[in-house]
Structures are given as C-alpha cells and as structure tokens.
Structure 1
C-alpha cells in the first residue's frame, strides 16, 4: 500500500509498504481522513523526529473505518467509524516516530481496546471533522492546564486550529469572556464564528489598551503600568512577541499558558514579572483529553467544522503537506481517502 514518509531532511515522499495485517487481538483500520499538523513540517524539515533522523511515517490526526476485528477484541464491529489515541499505540506513537503513520491507506491497532486507543463515533460526523479529534484534544488540554472557571476573562493569542479549539474549550467551561488576538482578518472572523466575544488585530490595534476596554482595569498599587483585568492568557501562536506582551501587561495573579511551539528562544525579564506573581503553565499533548473532547466534537460538529480550511484527496497528500507548511496559505488542511 502507499504511505507518506519523511525520507530525508526537507523531503517527504510516497513509499510502498506492506499492508498491515490484524491478529486475534488487533483491529485493522482503513484511514478515511488525516489532518496535517505543524509538527509534520517540523519532522520533514529535520529529516525525522528531533533529535533523531531517519525514515519516518507521517500522519497522527486520523479518523478511520474498521475493516477487520480480531476475535479477541470486544466492542468493535466492521464498518464502525472511529477516532484514535495515537499516543497509545503499542508499536510507537502513530505518525510521530512509531512504526506506522496515518497518511497511509491502512493502519493496524495492536492489542486493541475500546477506550484505550479507539473510540467509536456516529457515522453522520464528516470525516474531516472527525480528524480534528486529536488537535482538539491538544487544545482542550491547554484549556484545562490554565484551570478556567466561571467569570474568568480569557485571551487566546493565535486563531489557528489550536487557538480556535481553545476558544471552543473555554466556552464549554463557562468562562465569562473570550478575546482572540491575531493578525489575519480571516482567522479573526473564524474566531468569532466559533464563539469568541471579541477579536483584536494586533497589527492594527494596541493590544493592552484594547484589553483594558474589554476586560477592565486590573492594575493594582503593587504592579505598575497598564494591566488589563484579564485572568487567563493562552499562547497558541508561537510568536516571540506574545510572551513579551503578556509578561509586560498581565495583572497580579493572572495565568499564562503556553501550548504553541516556539522555534526560537524567547527572552523574558523575570525581574519585571516577579511582582505580578504570574502563574506560568505549559501544555503538550493530551494525557486525558483525547476522548474527553470526542463527545463535544460529535454533538457540535458543525462548530468544529469551521476549523477546517482545506481538504485534499489522498493522491495529493504531498501537496497537502506543502500547503499546510506555507505561512498564510491555509489554516487547517485535512487529507481525505476514498
């Protein structure tokens, strides 16, 4: 069968590999959709999973159809539509250094257990939306790490897929007000579509001043300067200006969460931040959220569908990787397999 692999630094290629087979404890899946992640571009550029180099199967945002069920597996039937925990495969992380990748016609789940690697979803959910399950779990984990509560005022930097997923997550958590900051008007429009209360174009507006208008004055005698009343900031952009902005304007006791991958070091003046007692948290992956997000995605799939900007057929998977890696060309690209 055909599969997309990193075959060298800066190169992803079609590779012919053996179609996997399922044993008594396994489930064979036909991949029906796979999202393209920013880490796919990172792996390709590096020539493998950093710091290692070498041939690497790509694709870790799949939705699939069950085509064969081992006789020792319970709770699954041929024809079921499923989403996957790609970090729970017993042969390594799917599409992130493991033996298989979801930019392939088929994958096999070894030692398959419903609720461990596999969750069944209704058939009415479009494949391209089902493929959002993995990145939306990443977004929900970031939301959970910032511990939002009712009445909180939130700012999300970056209206890409993770940022939009975070907006959906914060809305479900019942926060009072969500602002999204970006520099791309079309992305800001999407943020409003998925539930942001307001947006700020940081290329045209003073972020601090606008947040004071939206979230009130959060300054106190012990912390000098303009301090919006924002309770939570989330960096889903990965631009060096974001940490510098947040640490310079955050009120006393605010929380700053980072889910974005920063590709260059960021300098922060800890001395200036000290008096704010800023809570800094980090988010990576999805320790518990991979299937927690599924029910919400199924119930509200039309809202999640807004996140997808482009769909390409499997034959054009290499084009999809290029499109997703081109700054400003697309927001969320999903490959569809017939």
Structure 2
C-alpha cells in the first residue's frame, strides 16, 4: 500500500509499505478522510517528533474510514462499518510515532469497545467525522477556560483549532468574542462561526480594539481592557506578554497553542492582577462528546474546511496547509 512517510526535515515521501494485518484484538481501517494538522506541519519541519530519526515516521491522525479487516476477538465491529478513530492511546500513537492516517490502510491495535474506534452513521460524512479530533482539542480548551454567557473573550489565532474554539464558545452561550488572525480568509470564517469581531493585528491596535469591544479602564495606573478571558491558539510569541500587559483583575489566560521556544512572562504584573494561567493539551474526555454533537448535527463545521485534495495530490495539499493565508483545515480524501 501507499503511505506518507517523513524521512527528515521537509523530506516527505510516498512510500510503498506492507499492508497491515490485524492481530486478534485489532482492526484495519480503509481510510476515507484525514485532515492535515498543525502538528503534522511541525513534525515535517523538524524531521520528526523531536527531530530527525533513523526511522521514517508516519503522519496523520485526524481520520475516518471503514473497517477493512478485523481480528477474531473483535465482536462489536463489522466489516465495511463506517468509523472514526481516536488516535490517542499508548498502544497506537497514531501519527505520533505509530502508524499514520495518510495511507491506504491503518492498523488500530486493541480496538476495545468505546475506546479507539467509534461507529458513525451514514448521515455523518467522513470529512465531518475526521474533524472530531481537532474539535476535541478545541472543546478541551473551552472546558479549561470555564467560560459561559456573559464572558468577554479574546481568541488569538483563527486556524482550525481557533475556529473550533469559536464554535464551542458560541455553543456555551458566549456572544462577546473578538478574534485576531493575520489571514483575512480565516477571519471571515471566524465571523461565519459567530465571532462578534474578527480583526487583523497588522491593521489594528489590539489593545484599543479590545477596549472598544469589551471596555477599558485602569488598574493601579496601568491601562487595561475588560476582556475576562484570553485564549491563545496562535503560537505567536508576543501574544502571552501582551495579554498579561492589558489584562484586568482576575482575568484568565488559556494557552492551547504549542510554543516551541520559551516565552517571557511578567509574573510581577500577573501577580498584581491575580491572573489565572491555564494550559490545555489534547482531549482527555472530550472525544465522545464532540462525536455525539456531530452526529446530532449540533455543530456547523463546514466553514472549518478550506480545501479538499485526493490522496494522490498529497504534496500539493501539504503545501496548501502550510500557507496560513490561504488555508484553514485541509482535508485529504481517499477513493472508496
């Protein structure tokens, strides 16, 4: 079968690899859709999870498909059943050291009921199902933020995770959302998903814009805005210190983005403001909740997908995903 393998920094290849064979507790998925994630881009840039390795690395973890082969002990799934996969498990590590979703087929080990492989109805498209994983990341961040109706929220970054954050903020009844991103097309998607304002920080003063949207004042002589929750999804180094500088008393800063370099934090200012710092990683409990919401048609996710490419155009798709001005979620589709 064909699979995308990372051989070094920016060295992606379409390799011929053996077809996977399931053990007694495993299943093999025939891929139907797999989204390109920011971590795929990061791994490709450095040549692996932690840098170059002697062993090529498979990529892709936002995936859905059908059951192509099944182990003897797996009785809760059927051949040709439509499914979505939760890639996070020590026995699989899909796209993060194990097999990857940018391939014709994928082996999922230990396919126990309700853990890694979830049936999906015909009413849910494969592309929508593949969004379960990134939406779960976004939902976990919103859960960690603890926001609700009446919250005044600034979201920095309107990539796929940031767009998911907006979606769940609106689902929680948050109406006062201001989003910042450098891409005009991503800002337009943020507006479509319910952001009150979506602004390009290259064209506006962020502090002034938040002051106009949420109110402004002073604290101990410092100028502050009345934004109560800052959610950082951009990965831009200046967002965290800027948020601390403009934050009011008892505000929250939630960091979902991965910052690959140390970021300076003015703890003296943060202490005076009694700020709460929260980080958010992955989705310990959210995958099922997101999938249920998608199946119930409670989430309008179409604005998140900017491009669709067939698997044979993967390299073109990856280049598009790297172009943040043009892309949001780039989806790879497979023939069935």
Which TM-score tier does this pair reach, normalised by the shorter chain?
Answer: over 0.9
- In the alignment, structure 1 residue 323 sits paired with structure 2 residue 320: yes
CA distance in 2, matches of 1:315, 1:131: 19
Range moving further from structure 2, 68-77 or 8-17: 68-77
CA deviation after TM superposition for structure 1 residue 165, in Å: 0.2
- RMSD value, Cα: 1.8
Q: Secondary structure at the match of 2:174?
A: coil
Return the alpha-carbon distance in structure 2 between the equivalents of residues 297 and 266 of structure 1: 36
Q: 1:257 aligns with which of 243, 254, 258?
A: 254
My pick for the range that moved more, 56-65 or 316-325, is 316-325
Distance in 2, matches of 1:215 and 1:94, equals 42
Relative to structure 1, is the Cα distance of residues 300 and 229 closer, same or farther in structure 2, using a 3 angstrom cutoff?
A: farther
Of 72-81 and 31-40, more deviation after overlay is shown by: 72-81
| Structure 2 residue aligned with 1:202 | 201
Please name the residue that 1:282 is paired with. Answer: 279
1:30: how far off?
0.5
TM-score, structure 2 normalization: 0.93
Is the contact between residue 89 and residue 110 of structure 1 (CA under 8 Å) also seen in structure 2? no
Map 1:35-184 to 2 at 5 A. 35-51=35-51, 53=53, 54-88=55-89, 90=91, 92-98=92-98, 100-184=99-183
Range with bigger deviation, 247-256 or 179-188: 179-188
| Contact in 1 for aligned 2:34/2:333 (Cα 8 Å) | yes
How many residue pairs get matched? 334
Determine if contact 1:208/1:226 at 8 Å carries over to the other structure. Answer: no
Q: Is the 8 A contact 2:185 2:326 kept in 1?
A: no
Alignment partner of 1:268 out of 265, 268, 283:
265
Structure 1: how far apart are the matches of 2:297 and 2:272? 42
Q: For residues 152-194 of structure 1, what are the alpha-carbon distances to aligned partners after superposition, in whole Å with 9 as ceiling and x for unaligned?
A: 1111111110000001111222224222112222211111111
- Give deviations 1:254-295, integer Å, cap 9, x for gaps: 110111122333223222222111111111111111222112
Q: Give TM-score, length-normalised by structure 1.
A: 0.93
Which moved further from structure 2: 37-46 or 260-269?
260-269
The one-character-per-residue Cα deviations of 1:45-82 (angstroms, maximum 9, x if unpaired) are 22221156231011111111122333422332223221
Cα distance in 2 for partners of 1:325, 1:15 equals 22
Match of 1:12 in 2: 12
Q: 1:74 to 1:230 in 2, by over 3 A?
A: farther
**How far apart in 2 are the matches of 1:268 and 1:262?**
13
Alpha-carbon distance, 1:220 to partner: 5.6
Which is further off, 133-142 or 321-330?
321-330
Q: Distance in 2 between matches of 1:327 and 1:156?
A: 17
Does residue 31 in structure 1 map to residue 28 in structure 2? no
> In the TM superposition, what whole-angstrom CA distance separates every residue of 1:236-262 from its partner, at most 9, and x where no partner exists?
111122112211111111110111122
Structure 1 gaps, min length 5: none
* 1:194-253 CA-partner distances (Å, limit 9, x unpaired): 121222222222222222222223x465x4333222111101111122112211111111
Deviation for aligned residue 1:117: 0.3
Structure 1 residue 185 corresponds to structure 2 residue 184: yes
Q: 1:248 aligns with which of 221, 245, 249?
A: 245
Give the superposition deviation at 1:308. 0.6
User: For structure 2, which runs of at least 5 residues remain unmatched after alignment?
Assistant: none
Q: Secondary structure at the match of 2:304?
A: coil
